[in-house]
């Protein structure tokens, strides 16, 4: 009897056939996502050819801004004149606005987020900037007021 059970188990094991998996008749479509590339830079507003006046700056979060009258003329998409000095700047899309970095200001390399309405209306009213100068441990916030004049 024991031999009969062993033979039946062996027969069952030997008679098992492994099936080769086959792909389904309709493969699932490949999902693609939009690719962001350098060409999206062309959809970003430009400051080229515009002139702005920095009319005020507040250092820290309390108090009235100091009145200033510094001229910023944006010559190319990377170079601007801060008063008479030729310096680099950058403007790029960040998802919720545009990062504007103005290098070479009297307060350091100031970087902050501005918005489309600032560019369209030509007014920046107390938006926060920080000094990103290499090696700077300055963690003071600077609030900037600027108006487009050209």
Q: Return all residues near 4 (Cβ < 8 A) that are at least 6 apart.
A: none
* Tens-digit pLDDT profile for residues 93-110: 988 899 999 999 999 999
Domain locations in the chain?
A: 43-148
* Tens-digit pLDDT profile for residues 107-127: 999 999 999 999 999 999 999
Separation of alpha carbons 134 and 127, rounded Å? 22
In 3D space, the residue among 53, 85, 58, 86 whose CA is nearest the CA of residue 69 turns out to be 53
In 3D space, the residue among 122, 139, 120 whose CA is nearest the CA of residue 131 turns out to be 139
- Tell me which residue has tokens 């100031």: 110
* Tens-digit pLDDT profile for residues 7-52: 666 656 555 555 555 555 544 443 334 445 454 444 568 899 999 9
Residue 115: both structure tokens together: 């918005």
* Percentage of the residues of the chain whose pLDDT score is greater than 90: 60
End-to-end CA gap in the chain:
104
């Amino acid at each position: 009897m024991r031999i009969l059970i062993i033979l039946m188990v062996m027969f069952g094991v030997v008679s098992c056939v492994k099936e080769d998996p086959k792909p389904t008749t309709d493969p699932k479509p490949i999902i693609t996502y939009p690719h962001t590339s350098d060409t999206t830079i062309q959809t970003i507003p430009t400051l080229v050819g515009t002139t702005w006046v920095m009319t005020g700056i507040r250092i820290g979060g309390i108090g009235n801004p100091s009145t200033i009258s510094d001229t910023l003329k944006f010559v190319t998409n990377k170079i601007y004149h801060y008063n008479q000095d030729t310096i680099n700047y950058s403007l790029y899309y960040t998802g919720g606005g545009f990062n504007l970095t103005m290098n070479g200001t009297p307060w350091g390399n100031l970087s902050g987020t501005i918005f489309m309405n600032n560019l369209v209306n030509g007014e920046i009213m107390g938006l926060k900037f920080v000094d990103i100068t290499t090696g700077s441990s300055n963690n003071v916030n600077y609030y900037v007021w600027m108006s487009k004049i050209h």
